[in-house]
Amino acid sequence: MARRRSERMLVTKVTGVGEARHLQRSPDELIVEEPMSIQLDGTLIATTMRTPGNDYELAAGFCHTEGLLGGASIIGVRYCVDRDAVDGEFNIVRVETGGRAPKPTPRLGNVSSSCGWCGSEQLDDLCARLTPIPSSEAFDLDVIASMPDRVLGDQGLFARTGSVHAAAAFSRSGEVLLMREDVGRHNAVDKVIGSMLLDPAHMLPSQSDEQFGLFVSGRASIEMVQKAWAAGFSAVVAVSAPTALAVDAARRANLLLAGFVRGATFNVYAPERL
């Protein structure tokens, strides 16, 4: 069943100033934002506000990037059948591993942009769980500079609503492999990673001998680096700035982190030197 991702509403458009100001009623297209609950082997692990669409990818990607699968394979993803899917508005998604994943701790409350991070102590825990990205040939700086133009021109939802983020996986040559949009930056990234996890036509960077980069249309927060690292991306390219904790994580992950990528000018925060 196709889900509505945007909604048209009548708004008052204000143009001009002073006596030349003009008010006009006109339709505007707004992004839809709805909660989605994610269950792992029947246990509620998260509820996130997301744009409907690619829900299975979002659920699978979240379970992977949060380290909840413990190496177990996903054997199925479905809308919850414990209640009628229509009554539940297709907002409950269940990821199944047949009980092979570690038993998750139920999580109350919503996933937010901060994603529950509390600082350097949790970064130490992350480093204990993940191994650094293997060293390889650096990404071409021209490829990094070109990524916003390559990705953002295909943002269909953003063009209609102006209120969603994009994430994309790209190759060393700059080919955009897939792109996803969502009202939440972290959701867009999880949808990209979930697609690579579930689609036989793709594979996670950690499962491939090739290098892949992750593009994000907003800032590079710690959660963006965490998710990229968990999936095995070698580079994160962001339109806006990173946080200090994200830079620390990228350096410890041996991951290239570029921010303020807007044309020919950008900053490389990790590694410390090129």
The residues annotated with a catalytic role in the active site are 115
Cβ atoms within 10 A of the Cβ of 135, count?
Answer: 9
Element (DSSP H or E) covering residue 227: helix 222-231
Cβ-count burial 62-83 (b if 16+ within 10 Å, e if not) = bbbbbebbeebebeebebbeee
Q: CA separation (Å) from 243 to 133, 219, 226?
A: 20, 8, 12
Closest CA to 146 of 227, 76, 40, 239: 239
Closest CA to 231 of 209, 270, 204, 252: 204
Element (DSSP H or E) covering residue 168: strand 165-171
Please state, in angstroms and rounded to a whole number, the distance separating the CA atoms of residues 131 and 148.
29
Q: CB burial class (10 A; 0-12, 13-18, 19+) of residue 210?
A: exposed
Q: CB burial class (10 A; 0-12, 13-18, 19+) of residue 172?
A: middle
Which residue, chain included where needed, has tokens 């030349």?
20
Q: What is the token pair recorded at 75?
A: 């054997």
Are 135 and 80 in contact, with CB atoms under 8 Å apart? no
